[in-house]
Structure 1
Amino acid sequence: MVGGYGRGPDILHGVTIEVDRGEIAVIVGPNGAGKSTAMKAVFGMLNVHSGSVMFDGEDIRTLTPQARVAKGMGFVPQTHNIFTSMSVEDNLEMGAFLRKDDFADTMEQVYDLFPILKEKRNQHAGELSGGQRQQVAVGRALMTQPKLLMLDEPTAGVSPIVMDELFDRIIEVARTGISILMVEQNARQALEIADKGYVLVQGANAHTGTGKELLADPQVRKSFLGG
């Protein structure tokens, strides 16, 4: 993908990212590397000037984000990702707005994945802790029954314990056959659970491999993982 915002300069300079069914793919790299921009390009939130976005064998580059959700993409942005004045359950129901079927079973699956949300389902989402808000955001995206779940910095601002718990839940989601594409600042921990890892630098692929390969790569360790 080559692209950027509006008529501004390109931020992505030939980025290639791939995630197969049930895999966890992680994008890491320094600040300003284009990680979140790459995620937004996949979701249709900025212009891809050349290259393609293939989903289930179809080039969806011209589709709106809403149309991509209908195709099976779920996206959880880093901030402003819940309705704070609405209850937890109402937030989850909002995630099912495109569905015409009964989504009660999906709601129960989300509550099984995040039991604290069931306990607090009638509370305003704005009253929850940072980690619980992230659970609401992920749960709402899961209500769309996505084939691909995209997470932009899901552990930003949460404690190490909450981060580990969120990663455990992400692994559980992938085991159900949902693909995960994740931008993550906690690079070492994210690569430990990654089937595929992509290190971006200045809007281009710098290193690509399995999570284990990148964790073992001396150059990656020195440049991006603190040695």
Structure 2
Amino acid sequence: MSYLDASNMTGGYGRADILHGCTLTVERGQIAVIVGPNGAGKSTAMKAVFGMLPLRGGSVMLDGTDITAMSPQDRVKKGMGFVPQVNNVFPTMSVEENLEMGAFIRDDDFHDTMEQVYTLFPILKDKRHQNAGELSGGQRQQVAVGRALMTQPKLLMLDEPTAGVSPIVMDELFDRIIEVARTGISILMVEQNARQALEIADRGYVLVQGTNRYTDTGKALLADPEVRRTFLGG
């Protein structure tokens, strides 16, 4: 069984289902990327995996444990970290205070983890006493990812991590995501920059109307003429 096995997820908002039998799996240390057109259910699938959306069908397994009925808070304690697309930092708190907030579930000494975050994102150490709301978009994303890493997740979930940042910052964020995966942390990511995201993906999912249209390695999806024509602009 995969480290994350979210199988046949069906659910939505009110009476309307957004997801229709959507399945996502991620192995340990893998980068799995969800792409697809607007309204495909990508962010909804992430919320379902994280427990923010009740399922009407399907299940979510993490490391062999059924967590389908667990709250998001309990999923964090089980090893999930989630970085939403917007409102993902505390703007009036310093960078260091934001990272400390990420350690709220821990009762051990978290300063080694904080140093690891600063090693991954050196600019955050330079700006650790600055309020997060004063940072650039790319730097705020680094704070958000860093705060999630403070929980010592085994699965890190990122919803559009490069939204609104420059191509140079996007490449840097992707490089850091690869570094995180190399430590053995699994990554599940929704990304609007589909071509670039699939280039770093071990596994790719193309969602259309809440269901899996294509599932393969990132490299295979990039090479698929139909995927390229329909979803990657040729």
TM-score normalized with structure 2 length: 0.96
1:85 and 1:104 map into 2 onto residues whose CA distance is: 22
What residue is the counterpart of 2:194 in the other structure? 187
What residue is the counterpart of 2:111 in the other structure? 104
1:71 and 1:208 map into 2 onto residues whose CA distance is: 27
1:3 and 1:144 map into 2 onto residues whose CA distance is: 28
Partner secondary structure for residue 10 of structure 1: strand
Distance apart, 1:47 and its partner CA: 1.2
What residue is the counterpart of 1:65 in the other structure? 72
What residue is the counterpart of 1:4 in the other structure? 12
What residue is the counterpart of 2:52 in the other structure? 45
Partner secondary structure for residue 14 of structure 1: strand
Question: What does residue range 175-214 of structure 1 map to in structure 2 within 5 Å?
Answer: 175-214=182-221
Runs of 5+ in structure 2 lacking a partner? 1-8
Does residue 1:130 correspond to 2:155, yes or no? no
What residue is the counterpart of 2:3 in the other structure? none
Does residue 1:170 correspond to 2:177, yes or no? yes
Partner secondary structure for residue 233 of structure 2: coil
Residue deviations 1:141-186, cap 9 Å, x none? 0000000000000000000000000000000000000000000000
1:54 and 1:132 map into 2 onto residues whose CA distance is: 33
More strand by share: 2
What residue is the counterpart of 2:100 in the other structure? 93
When the two chains are superposed, the root-mean-square deviation of aligned CA atoms in Å is 0.4
After the TM superposition, which parts of structure 1 deviate over 6 Å for at least 4 consecutive aligned residues? none
Letter in 2 for 1:177: G
1:99 and 1:28 map into 2 onto residues whose CA distance is: 33
What residue is the counterpart of 2:126 in the other structure? 119
Runs of 5+ in structure 1 lacking a partner? none
1:27 and 1:221 map into 2 onto residues whose CA distance is: 15
2:114 and 2:53 map into 1 onto residues whose CA distance is: 31
Distance apart, 1:59 and its partner CA: 1.0
- Given candidates 137, 160, 163, the residue that maps to 1:156 is 163
Identity level (%):
81
Residue deviations 1:170-209, cap 9 Å, x none? 0000000000000000000000000000000000000000
Q: How many residues align?
A: 226
TM-score normalized with structure 1 length: 0.99
